[in-house]
Structure 1
Amino acid sequence: MFQHLFRKSRPLAWLAPTAFALQLLAGTSAVAAPAAETPRAGGTLTTIIQPEPVILTSALNSAAPTGFFSANVFDGLVEYDNNFKLKPALAERWDISKDSKTLTFHLRPNVKWHDGKPFTSADVKWTLENVWKKLHPRNQILFGKVTQVDTPDPLTVVLHFSEPSLAVLSSLNSNGAQVLPKHLYEGTDILNNPYNNKPVGTGPFVFKEWNKGNYIVLERNPNYWDKGKPYLDKIVFKVIPDASARAAALEKGEAQYAPFNPVPLKDAQRLAQLPSLKLETRGYDWISPWLFMDVNLDRPYFKDVRVRQALAHAIDLNALNKVVWFGFGKPAVSPVVSTLTQFFNPAVPKYAYDPAKAEQLLDAAGLKRNADGNRLKIQIDYLPYGDDYKRSAEYLKQAYKRVGIDVTVRTQDTPTYTKRVYGDRDFDLAVVWFAGFADPLVGVTRAYRADTVGKNIPWSNGSGYRGEEANKLIDEAQGSPSQAERVELFKRFQTVVQNDLPSVPLLELRFFTVQSSSLRDTVSGVDQIYASLKNAWFAQPPGATATVAGK
């Protein structure tokens, strides 16, 4: 029954409505490497990572910068190809019992951690029991039904579930379920273990240095289990906070790879026309990203659902997409993106752009305009991942001004933002994006589960929603052995949360990567943005030699 998960979701079917976006998407396949090319070993890849990660292992933090970096150091039990199909990685094969309650992994022999210690089933068992089930923001629910983990030998791991958990196999790559070395973590304070920031993995690249605020250096793992790979000698992750400086670095060849819309969207067209660069949109399908706004339900003025409905009616999502995101998105209907056609429910309650209705709802809720024309003064915090998120917050500020809500946009770094929203809960509105992944249980429901509120678990339930019916539906979907039943439960879940509206879906996002035209094979699966660059290679050496300050 687990196998139902791997019926391929429909590929991203919508295209950005601008002429440039259409050209970009059409041009991606046109510049793909010819099949006859033979990979060339060697070279240093300089990539841009922004913002700088706060930690270097995705086992403990699911933030995008951490995921982008750490997949090069750690392997997953499986990989995903370009058709969402499973490929062996640390697990060579796996077996599923007829009742879908037992999942057995047969691990690859002779795999070594970067410090030379053998990778074994004990590492998987320890990580699942101590990290995935207790600390990881997504995996606490995903592996919550695991009652026992057996390790009959060093290369066999047997997971026993109290109920089927059909979403598990959709999240066993190096991002979804990253395995940590037991011998370096057991008996330590896991969250403060020094190896979180000098990681030891089994992956294609070995950690060498983190010069905070400047760069992180990885070098080729000469003992990697996937023989002959990686092709690159080194990867340098450069931290470049300024968007214009990122564009300049790519244009000059000082950096050859940058993901997650690294340049201002208005600059993307100019860069795409340069012969030395290309824009790539593949490799993001697995994450199903959506932009939304959390409403802090602990604030007295947001407890009335009419106020939350007014917040939704005041936003012109089409204009937000066009003005702020330059067409690289699509107005969201639900927290489940429309490209996940199996789960998406188009019949959820909708809140069309209607400022007059927003004002009526605010009046009815008792928030009348004062003498200064304002009904309410609040703050909005935005994910500090770049100008697009800041401009989204500023757009919302203007939208709310029209209906009498005075908004102050607050800027901070990532640790402050996550603590404010997911720990201290000291905010009114927060703009953020989540990855929904291939199954709503993996990425969507974490934004609504009541048991994570206020626990300082980044990228979980920021609104403080404690909806009884929604949480019951999540639990039922988690334990259902029927994929058809799970689909129906998730469709009902979407209706419930869109009625309660603890968070306002804004856009389904379309990310792109800017990379050197001579860089080959950077996309090998639907999860590439959170997968390693072990297959990447340069057809020609970079035009500008990658350098690290002081070296």
Structure 2
Amino acid sequence: MTKKIQHPPLAMSRRALLMASGAGLAASVLPFGPLSAQPAGTLAMCVTPEPNAMCSAFNTASPVTVVSGKMLEGLLNYDFDVSPIPALATAWEVAEDGLSITFTLRDGVTWHDGEPFTSADVQYTIMEILKVHHPRGRSTLASVTAVETPDPLTAIFRLSQPAPALMYALAGWESPMLPKHVYEGTDVLQNPANNAPVGTGPFVFQTWERGSHIVMAANPNYWGEGEPKLERLVIRIITDPSARAAALDAGELHLAGDGPIPVNQVQRFIDSPDFQVETRGTEMNNSLDMIHTNMRNEHLAKLEVRQALMYAMNRDLMLDVVYYGLAEILDSPIPETLPNFHTSDVPQYDYDPDRANALLDEAGYERDADGMRFGLRLIAPTVGDTYERMGQFLKQNFRDIGIDLELISADIPTFIRSVFGEYDYDLTLYPGSVTADPTIGSQRFWWSEAASPGTPFVNSTGYASEEMDAVLEAAAVEPDPEARRELFVRFQQIAMTDLPILPVARPIYVTIAAANVENFVPGPDGIRAPYGSLAFTG
């Protein structure tokens, strides 16, 4: 498990004191005005890249989940053991046969527009929104056939078969509850509330200045006693990692997560008494760097080519050169951070360029006069400098086996359209979230029925295997933990044999906060948490 790295402040520096009082910035620093011009309880954090929506019910891209989770809540929260704890539901009971789950809802909760939150909202959200439009909801909620509402504070999920993963998928950033009265009777995909959410969370949407910042105000009617502790939350859009590091140094940011700065600068923040650096907070959202192959490509359709690519990657060296040590090599699609599911009993692909070359020779791909066999395009989103370094690293690794790699960097909308809409790519690399349960996060990348043109972050490879589908479908409904583990062991073995996706590494993302910020990683969802308890000290 990742070791927590958190340095308590040894002394409050002058800069930190100025940050706490809000008096340390000149008027020209921030596009929305200096922190000194904001209410005293204003905290500035950042997100990157800029989200293309505000509601994670329809889009589970990482920056969307970060902002959505502050305004929209789920039925449950989770502790660091990834055990459910109350949120909009205060109690729950799973039937012995696993075919129903009864939730008791929190009394007195209101939406940001003043309307009461009731079981009708839960029913509508689950059946009309998440089951239909959520990228992971199609599989996570597949067994939910109905949500009964015997009274305003009781919601009963009826299931066609047990769904053991469901209880791990009800956090606000993953499965946000939406107001029925706002969405019913509208084109839900075009509803204005998708970009100006009406939620129950501790913060209320105010403004979104695209390319600059998002502002949320404290919810004066929030159900959490004494929360929120901030008056205002400002989420800045700072696309350059070095600029984010400079903004933290200057006090223009109090908080930044998801690996916000160049990895070669992390150690100095660890060593500084002005900051806290935390590696917890990804247990609910393990983000994995994996290369997804487009098996529609005539070269990549051959298993020997995909195997050769695995053998060609010098991942031990990559940890130092690309990640500066802040990563762990993946030997399967499920990381070691999920010990109840992970196995190393799978085909292994240690760095072996000679083996890679032999496979390509066997496949009939001869080198030309320039030593190249064929070319491939790798597209990655512009989400920092790590993928730029990795692209250059892979380009050299693949050149050594005669594959000319063309690197394409795309903004998020272009990336989603190219990869998931048009399937216009050969290889793609992006941080795929696998969450705390493989049925929720991993299944969508290998399950043939998850493929849906235009739906982001699902199976885009064209991979379809009857055995894989059967294993994943059985694991999704198996109530016995040991039997379910064995199914996921088989899943990993098939995945590492067929190789539609090439596991690379699990980045160790850090969250950095000023020394006077507390509760910035309150649980296993890290910066995706609602942040009602986020506060300044001193």
> After alignment, is 206-215 or 121-130 more displaced?
121-130
Note closer, same or farther for the CA distance 1:32–1:88 as it changes in structure 2 (3 Å cut).
Answer: farther
How many angstroms apart in 2 are the aligned matches of 1:147 and 1:31? 52
2:304 is aligned with what amino acid? R
1:216 counterpart residue number: 214
2:223 is aligned with what amino acid? W
State the 1:431 CA deviation.
0.7
1:7 counterpart residue number: none
Is the 1:181–1:200 Cα contact (8 Å) retained in structure 2? yes
1:73-99 alpha-carbon deviations (Å, 9 max, x no partner)? 011111112232221110011111111
SS of the equivalent of 1:524 reads: coil
Q: Does 1:401 align with 2:379?
A: no
Q: Does 1:122 align with 2:120?
A: yes
SS of the equivalent of 1:92 reads: strand
1:545 counterpart residue number: none
Is the 1:454–1:464 Cα contact (8 Å) retained in structure 2? no
How many angstroms apart in 2 are the aligned matches of 1:145 and 1:265? 42
Q: Does 1:477 align with 2:492?
A: no
1:200-242 alpha-carbon deviations (Å, 9 max, x no partner)? 1000000000000000000000000012101000011111112
1:71 counterpart residue number: 69
2:236 is aligned with what amino acid? K
1:180 counterpart residue number: 178
How many angstroms apart in 2 are the aligned matches of 1:453 and 1:398? 32
Q: How does 1:507-522 map to 2 (within 5 A)?
A: 507-522=505-520
2:190 counterpart residue number: 192
Is the 2:382–2:409 Cα contact (8 Å) retained in structure 1? yes
How many angstroms apart in 1 are the aligned matches of 2:339 and 2:536? 37
2:6 counterpart residue number: 28
Q: Does 1:367 align with 2:365?
A: yes
1:447 counterpart residue number: 445
Is the 2:8–2:273 Cα contact (8 Å) retained in structure 1? no
How many angstroms apart in 2 are the aligned matches of 1:47 and 1:223? 23
1:83 counterpart residue number: 81
Q: Does 1:298 align with 2:276?
A: no
1:491 counterpart residue number: 489
1:352 counterpart residue number: 350
How many angstroms apart in 1 are the aligned matches of 2:165 and 2:125? 18
1:35-66 alpha-carbon deviations (Å, 9 max, x no partner)? xxxx9995100011110001101111111111
Percent identity of paired positions between Structure 1 and Structure 2: 38
SS of the equivalent of 1:112 reads: coil
SS of the equivalent of 1:302 reads: coil
How many angstroms apart in 2 are the aligned matches of 1:61 and 1:152? 31
1:413 is aligned with what amino acid? D
How many angstroms apart in 1 are the aligned matches of 2:295 and 2:423? 10
Note closer, same or farther for the CA distance 1:142–1:31 as it changes in structure 2 (3 Å cut).
Answer: farther
Task: Give the count of matched residue pairs.
Answer: 513
How many angstroms apart in 2 are the aligned matches of 1:364 and 1:407? 21
1:413-467 alpha-carbon deviations (Å, 9 max, x no partner)? 0011011111100000001122222111011111111123242211111222112
Q: How does 1:164-179 map to 2 (within 5 A)?
A: 164-179=162-177
SS of the equivalent of 1:213 reads: coil
Of the candidates 36, 44, 55, which is equivalent to residue 57 of structure 1? 55
Note closer, same or farther for the CA distance 1:332–1:65 as it changes in structure 2 (3 Å cut).
Answer: same
Of the candidates 422, 425, 430, which is equivalent to residue 423 of structure 2? 425
How many angstroms apart in 2 are the aligned matches of 1:539 and 1:318? 41
Is the 2:520–2:527 Cα contact (8 Å) retained in structure 1? no
How many angstroms apart in 2 are the aligned matches of 1:30 and 1:288? 26
**TM-score (normalizing by structure 1):** 0.91
**TM-score (normalizing by structure 2):** 0.93
Is the 2:56–2:176 Cα contact (8 Å) retained in structure 1? yes
Of the candidates 331, 334, 337, which is equivalent to residue 333 of structure 1? 331
2:270 is aligned with what amino acid? A
SS of the equivalent of 2:460 reads: coil
Give runs of ≥4 in structure 1 deviating > 4 Å.
Answer: 29-33, 39-42
Is the 1:251–1:271 Cα contact (8 Å) retained in structure 2? no
2:491 is aligned with what amino acid? F
How many angstroms apart in 1 are the aligned matches of 2:434 and 2:98? 24
SS of the equivalent of 2:299 reads: helix
1:463 counterpart residue number: 461
2:111 counterpart residue number: 113
Note closer, same or farther for the CA distance 1:32–1:292 as it changes in structure 2 (3 Å cut).
Answer: farther
Q: Does 1:98 align with 2:96?
A: yes
2:386 is aligned with what amino acid? D
SS of the equivalent of 2:149 reads: strand
Is the 2:138–2:450 Cα contact (8 Å) retained in structure 1? no
Note closer, same or farther for the CA distance 1:160–1:262 as it changes in structure 2 (3 Å cut).
Answer: same
Is the 2:7–2:270 Cα contact (8 Å) retained in structure 1? no
State the 1:267 CA deviation.
1.4
State the 1:193 CA deviation.
1.3
1:378 counterpart residue number: 376
How many angstroms apart in 1 are the aligned matches of 2:314 and 2:236? 36
**Structure 2 gap ranges (5+):** 12-19, 22-38
Of the candidates 389, 392, 395, which is equivalent to residue 391 of structure 1? 389
State the 1:32 CA deviation.
11
State the 1:334 CA deviation.
0.5
